[in-house]
Amino acid sequence: MTSRGTPSRFLRSVLQNGVGRYLCQLKRVSILFSRSAPSSLGVRDFIEEGVVDYAKKNPGTVVYVSPQSSTAAKVVAEYLNGSVREEDVANRTPQQISELLTKLTGQSGLDIIRIRKPFHTDSPSIQGLWHPFTNRPPSIGPIRPPEQDSN
């Protein structure tokens, strides 16, 4: 927490993701719905039309479809870091459910918070930041454009 009261952290990669190859952080998706409730109609339509396409596009993610009596329709996403997210999908269209699953697939499972700086190192340099004019002798003076003759 910062003095502003909002959580923040330094930018970091999840499980060295991107070093070597990309690894999708979404491990498992469970789609829970009711077979007869009208609020689960969009979920049932998505299961008939789009769940196979989603599974083909994301072979590293296991998809469970579970009809349960008298439960609100929801999607439970489990990530490699152990975090679990539950999203209510009652009264949503199949297109909205597909967009939600795409969003959950692209996330890392970490909470969405403010990033303090775009760069961070665990072993900072004691020499400071370098730029092209760091070791330039001050006797040369400032750099100016060349003067043109006014003939």
The total of structural domains in the chain comes to: 1
Residue 67 structure tokens: 């009809």
Domain around 43 = 25-108
- 124 domain residue, yes or no: no
Q: What is the pLDDT of residue 53?
A: 93
Q: What is the pLDDT of residue 15?
A: 58
Q: What is the pLDDT of residue 151?
A: 61
- 123 domain residue, yes or no: no
- 54 domain residue, yes or no: yes
Q: Which residue numbers in the chain have pLDDT < 50?
A: none
Q: How many CB atoms lie within 10 A of CB 146?
A: 4
* Cα(94)–Cα(103) distance, integer angstroms: 14
Its pTM stands at 0.66
Q: Strands 8-9 and 74-79, how do they pair?
A: unpaired
CATH number at residue 62: 3.40.30.10
Q: What is the pLDDT of residue 20?
A: 65
Q: What is the pLDDT of residue 81?
A: 83
- 10 domain residue, yes or no: no
- 17 domain residue, yes or no: no
- 63 domain residue, yes or no: yes
- 14 domain residue, yes or no: no
Q: What is the pLDDT of residue 18?
A: 59
DSSP element (H, E) containing 87: strand 84-88
- 115 domain residue, yes or no: no
Q: What is the pLDDT of residue 4?
A: 65
